[in-house]
Amino acid sequence: MRDCFVAALLEIARQNRRVLLMTGDLGFGVLDSFARELPLQFLNAGVAEQNMTGMAAGLALEGRTVFTYSIANFPTLRCLEQLRNDVCYHEANVKVVAIGGGFSYGALGMSHHATEDIAILRALPGISVHAPCDEVETSAITSLLVTQDGPSYLRLDKSKLAPLQDADEFRPGRLRLLRSGRHAAIMVCGGIAGEAIKAAESLAREGIECAVVSVHTLKPIDAEGVLDIARRYPAVLTLEEHVLSGGLGSIVAEILVDSGIRPRAFARMALPDQYCSVVGTQEYLRAHRGLDALTVANRMKALLSTAC
């Protein structure tokens, strides 16, 4: 998804000189083509993400559309004060791009795990929050952010969903059906959608048809789409590579409670309220924390048993 984002932004920036890409001394090799072709629209701010964000806000207030780019924790949590005071308060046209969402950089330890970012950033007024699951959504959201004024957060991770023949087309701000089903639904954000698809395929072999829905835009979320899922399916499960508090599951639960509409059975699968001291690949850490396809399939079967 990272390479897809860079390719999409380069294509846009060729036609739009207001677009500027800033990096916190990251992306060598990946960003070379952009820097080489559009040197006046590229700036390496060095290992100084807070300064990068402040500069991005100033450039945005002077009419530029600025994308900041770094490993997930660094352009977000390290820069939270600058995002709050400089970017969001002034409604600056800054797009924060975080690569390595969730456990993407699992081998580098908890300092590089991005597992609280959605909850924290969605609390900032005026910012939109996006977590695409595949290259289709990544390219479309990148293009969308250039046309939308105001702050945005684009969360990418190293995993991605393989192309699906039957997946719905991307529609801005609307839920996207990745796999149809009639017995239950899994709502998911980000690259962990691949685990949801594997779980649905496993359930199908047991006669359980489970829909998988991508919630690529978490703020503003497609509330009507969420309620439609709640009305259509007796069991709904949310899945995310993020802590339980404040992420996708919390957002969906808030909508259901506020509306008074809910499925017969609802559950959230996410990370527990503790830091992970284990290191390993993204796939290994997902399994270690119970977010792998097998665990998801078993959780859905247990959930369906309570919906009957």
**Phi, psi (rounded to 5 degrees) for 300:** -65, -40
Over 80: is that where the pLDDT of 28 sits?
no
The whole-angstrom separation of Cα 239 and Cα 102 is: 12
| Model confidence band, residue 27 (pLDDT cutoffs 50, 70, 90) | confident
Least confident of 38-52, 97-111, 117-131: 97-111
The set of residues, in sequence order, having a beta carbon less than 8 Å from that of 166 and lying 6+ positions away, is 179, 180
Task: Residue 189: name the closest of 231, 138, 254 by CA.
Answer: 138
Task: Residue 67: name the closest of 81, 55, 56 by CA.
Answer: 56
Over 80: is that where the pLDDT of 63 sits?
yes
Sign of CA dihedral 200, 179, 249, 308: negative
pTM: 0.96
**Domain boundaries 2-155, corresponding CATH code:** 3.40.50.970
The whole-angstrom separation of Cα 168 and Cα 220 is: 20
Ranges of CATH 3.40.50.970 domains, the chain: 2-155
Q: Render pLDDT for 199-214 as a digit per residue (tens, 0 to 9).
A: 999 999 999 999 999 9
Spatial strand order in the sheet of 176-179: 176-179, 210-214, 184-188, 235-243, 265-271
Pairing of strands 265-271, 235-243: parallel
- The reply to whether CATH 1.20.810.10 applies to domain 176-307 is no
Task: Residue 215: name the closest of 149, 304, 137 by CA.
Answer: 137
Ranges of CATH 3.40.50.920 domains, the chain: 176-307
Give percent of the chain with pLDDT exceeding 90: 90
Task: Give the burial class of 70: count Cβ atoms within 10 A of its Cβ; 0-12 exposed, 13-18 middle, 19 or more buried.
Answer: buried
The helix (H) or strand (E) run that includes residue 66 is strand 65-71
